[in-house]
Amino acid sequence: MRFLDPALLDDPYPTYARWQEETQIWRDEQTAAWVLTRHDDIRSVLKNSADYSSAAVGQRGTERAGAAGGPRLPLLSDDPPKHTQLRGLVDRAFTVRMLKKIEDRVTELADQMVADIPKGVPVDIVQALTIPLPVA
């Protein structure tokens, strides 16, 4: 089983259903990550930062980001209480009221980025849009 198998990414739901029935917890060889498929297991792990940590995600992310010259992503890789503190700051920036203030500008930026994509050629949408838009 490979979590990042291209066939799986194209249509993941039949595979997810099979995993839930056959193999609820397994280690992915490609990413070295543990994959949990049952809601109760996932919830239990996410609530228990004393026994389960996200730090390894940050380490792997740092290695990848370091190679690309980018920073690690602390909100994704930190455990409580630091994660809780950072999330509190981020939550305030993403209230409905705050998002309404920037909605027109984000739409304008996205429209421009889409317009700048060359027509008739394959494009990596992550590189062309989803990475640059949040930092624009």
- Domains of the chain, by residue range, sit at 1-47, 53-94, 98-136
Residue 19 burial by Cβ neighbours in a 10 Å radius (0-12, 13-18, 19+)? buried
Residue 73: pLDDT over 80: no
Query: What is the distance between the alpha carbons of residues 133 and 135, in angstroms, rounded to a whole number?
Result: 5
Size of the chain, expressed as the number of residues it contains: 136
Contact (Cβ atoms closer than 8 angstroms) between residue 37 and residue 64 = no
Cβ(91)–Cβ(75) below 8 Å: no
- Per-residue confidence at 34, pLDDT binned at 50, 70, 90? confident
Most confidently modeled range among 59-63, 67-71, 85-89, 95-99: 95-99
